[in-house]
Chain A
Amino acid sequence: MHAYIGAKIYPVDGPPIDDGVILVEDGKIAGIGGDLPIPDGVEVVDLSGKVIIPGLVDAHSHAGMWGDGEGEASQDGNERPGPITADVDAIDSVNPHHTSFASCREGGVTTVQIHPGSGNAIGGLCFAAKTAGEVVDDMVLKAPTGLKGALGENPKRGAGKDSPKTRMGTAALIRDYFARAREYGRKRDEGKSPDPDRGLENVLRVLEGEIPFRVHAHRSDDIVTAVRLCEELGIAYNIEHCTDGYLIAGFLGERGIAAHVGPGLSSRGKVETANRHEGNAAILAAAGVKVCLVTDHPFLDARYLMAYGGVAQKYGLSFEDTLRALTICPAESIGVDDRVGSLSQGKDADFLVLAGEPFSFKSPVLATFIEGVEVYTRPTL
């Protein structure tokens, strides 16, 4: 057992603790508090003057899947040709030895939800993983965590000569495929054993409520189309990117939707991101949307997720909401909040030691712990 003492702790699911104690045993938090007796024989680590927060949870990442300085050879995010590749699983594209995981650890990101790309109307299965390990299967926290969908520019751009050519085409393809999946399920339930089809099976998992549909949508009309489709189909869902969300904040807020807002610090590279607004996260949160700040790594290097938090805060997201948007909110959205996202007894010992208060470049991550193991130590400069 280890005891980390002396730091100011932001547990996220409770008020900050000055001069707090975290007890860690077998990768779990065995105790946390301000005035906690330290059992005999425990290895004590003094972190006086430091700050502890939960490990960050990045709900939209492509870590290990593309980028990583390897060019074409490592572009494994979009299974083309599309537009429906519901049968693929992100786990089969992820290389744990890619540098992106080192970036995650350095930036304090301890849990990621890894998505297939947004080139296809239905892109494949997402899963949640810890960011340290040798074999991806050992890093998995939960799989699958959702089915990726995409609206807007990307699917119609990637389609070549085939459908979808338009936004209505993309919506029609998704509707049609879900209808086929429902039919497939009906046959199966009637004992008629349809020809096996993994893609339809994965969509059935969404229709049957096992996993949500996670829909890439930037522009407000695309976001509304996502809501229309998902409400029509009666499925659980969330919005990825949600760039225009602030324009329809009331519409989203009254539905209590989760929005994975990001990538942070980026530009308006596409028409569908033309309205990008730094205050988006704050406006959405005020309207009641469950806001998660995401890197969409490699589009924002996972190392700089905290800096994105700083910018979101600068434009009106409260300190507490910013911290939640990087920890417990994404943990809930991914469905792994029983394990990560806050610091309380019984949860995984995933936490960060910061040099000072969060969200300043003056408070870099000094150490990242995953399940009690120090997986990143800031080098001496």
Chain B
Amino acid sequence: MLAVINARLHPVSSSPGRGGLLIREGKILEAGDIRVPEDTPTIDARERIVTPGIIEAHCHAGLSEEGIGWEGNDGNERSDPITPHVRAIDGANPEDKAFRFFREAGITASQLTPGSANIIGGEQLVAKSRETVFIDEMIVLRPSGMKAALGENPKRVYGPKKSPATRMGNAAVMRKWLDRALAYADKKDAGDSPDFDMILESLIPVVRGDLPLRIHCHRADDISTALRLAEEFSLRFSLEHVTQGHLVADTLAERDVFCAVGPSMVHEAKVEMRGNGFENAAKMVRAGVRFCLTNDHPVVHGRNLPAAAGLLQAAGVPAAQALKSITLAAAEHIGLGDRMGSLDVGKDADVVIWSGDPLDARSFADVTIIDGEIAHCRGGDSGC
């Protein structure tokens, strides 16, 4: 058991208010007006703001390790543009320093994803930022999605001598393999026994609509291609980056597409990122696009995700919505909206006590709680 008392609770799913949290077996047992049993270890929040843990919905932590160089780069299996059979779990190093910085910054969970060199890049997972040497102990959901990519990256990596060398090549390669996977899945369902093919096996949950295809796309035309492909194959899917989503915001809103937008803090590093900035995200929010914010760690360090939400607020998005974009909306994006992202009874006890406004770059995560356990304590008078 663990109690947090005297908090200014920002539950995200409902309006802020004063109160506390009672935590048992890693879950929130009571929220708001709580009764603390005797002898319960208690953190006095002393009127500080308490939010759910921050979630980085699109993250390469553990796969692109900090300060290691090529030895620590395990994000892109560049041997072929179609690698759905590779898995983030086999590449992510829990000892990447990033996870420690996440704990210190209140980032309690992240979706770890292969990179965008390949048309289909591999299986994703969601990990808590726990301190452990076993990735398995961090995992909340696996697989959480299948990574795909359109636009510049695949054609740059494989072209011009190999397909894909163009954007239409990107789409053709994707179609070819989804067609094959469908045929393979149909054969299996019909009781035929096709020769085992690991690539096609890995794509069955995608073409059957069980596993979301998470499609990297920046430019508006790449977004359109992603929507076209998703519709053709009746995929479960989400869009990742969506830099120019503001140009097609009405379509995205109308189709209720899940969008993880970012990294907005970097300058337009590539042609496909032209016009990058928080104004785009703000326009998407105003158009009603289903939206969460990502730093694409390590492109911008995940620890700066709350500061990014601050800049989103500066671009005109209301504070509550900015906070939601890195908590509940991110949880929903990665398929865990029922388990994380808000301070509701029954949800994982991923909780942060902040020294000030959580979205102010100058504020600290004084205490980070993951699954009911104190994962970071800033010391001093932080209260733990």
Residues of A within 8 A of B (CB): 67-71, 99-100, 103, 265-271, 273-276, 297-304, 307, 310-311, 313-314, 359-362, 364, 381
Contacts and interface: CB of A to CB of B under 8 A. Distances in A.
Lowest 8 A-B CB distances belong to which pairs? Answer: A274-B67, A69-B274, A381-B316, A69-B268, A298-B267, A267-B298, A268-B66, A361-B310
B69 interface: yes
B300 A267 contact: yes
Considering residues B67, B68, B360, which has the most beta carbons from chain A within 10 angstroms of its beta carbon?
B67
Interface string B299-328: 111001001001101111000000000000
Nearest to B218: A69
B277 interface: yes
A361 B361 contact: yes
A289 B362 CA distance: 23
B168 interface: no
B190 interface: no
A69 B270 contact: yes
Given A360-B360, A361-B360, A67 B307 contact: no
B69 to A, nearest CB: 4
B354 interface: no
Contacts of B304: 265, 311
Contacts of B299: 267
Interface in B52-101: 66-69, 97-98
B364 interface: yes
Given A69-B268, A304-B265, A307-B307, A271 B69 contact: yes
A361 B360 CA distance: 6
Contacts of B363: 314
Interface in B8-27: none
B314 A69 contact: no
Contacts of B268: 67-69, 99, 298
A71 B270 contact: yes
B217 to A, nearest CB: 16
16 contacts: A68-B268, A69-B269, A69-B273, A70-B271, A71-B271, A265-B265, A265-B307, A267-B300, A271-B68, A276-B66, A276-B67, A300-B266, A303-B277, A310-B307, A311-B307, A361-B313
B275 interface: yes
B267 A67 contact: yes
Contacts of A360: 360-362
Nearest to A298: B267
Given A265-B304, A271-B67, A67 B361 contact: no
Given A68-B267, A303-B277, 15 more contacts: A67-B267, A99-B268, A265-B300, A265-B301, A266-B300, A268-B97, A300-B266, A301-B267, A310-B307, A359-B362, A360-B361, A361-B359, A362-B314, A381-B282, A381-B315
B267 A307 contact: no
Contacts of A100: 267
Nearest to B273: A69
Contact of A267 (B273, B277, B297): B297
The SS class assigned to the A binding surface is loop
A297 B269 CA distance: 10
B352 to A, nearest CB: 15
Given A267-B298, A307-B361, A361-B314, A275 B269 contact: no
A207 B270 CA distance: 39
Size bin of chain B's contact surface: 35 or more
Given A103-B267, A273-B67, A298-B266, A268 B298 contact: yes
B269 A304 contact: no
B83 to A, nearest CB: 23
Interface string B18-56: 000000000000000000000000000000000000000
A301 B314 contact: no
Contacts of A361: 307, 310-311, 313-314, 359-361
A61 to B, nearest CB: 11
A31 to B, nearest CB: 32
Considering residues A99, A103, A298, A361, which has the most beta carbons from chain B within 10 angstroms of its beta carbon?
A361
B66 A267 contact: yes
Nearest to B278: A303
Interface of B: 66-69, 97-98, 152, 265-271, 273-277, 282, 297-301, 304, 307, 310-311, 313-316, 359-364
Given A268-B298, A274-B68, A314 B267 contact: no
Considering residues A267, A303, A381, which has the most beta carbons from chain B within 10 angstroms of its beta carbon?
A267
A301 B269 CA distance: 10
A64 to B, nearest CB: 12
Considering residues A269, A298, A303, A304, which has the most beta carbons from chain B within 10 angstroms of its beta carbon?
A304
A303 to B, nearest CB: 7
Contacts of B362: 310-311, 313-314, 359-360
Contacts of A273: 67
A267 B72 CA distance: 14
Nearest to B319: A362
Nearest to B276: A69
A79 to B, nearest CB: 21
Contacts of A314: 361-364
Contacts of B298: 267-269
Contacts of A359: 361-362
A114 B297 CA distance: 27
B314 A364 contact: yes
Nearest to B304: A265
Contact of A302 (B267, B313, B361): B267
Contact of A304 (B311, B360, B364): B311
Nearest to B271: A71
Considering residues B273, B282, B300, which has the most beta carbons from chain A within 10 angstroms of its beta carbon?
B300
A266 B68 contact: no
B280 to A, nearest CB: 13
Nearest to A309: B361
B67 A268 contact: yes
A307 B307 CA distance: 8
Nearest to B298: A267
B49 to A, nearest CB: 15
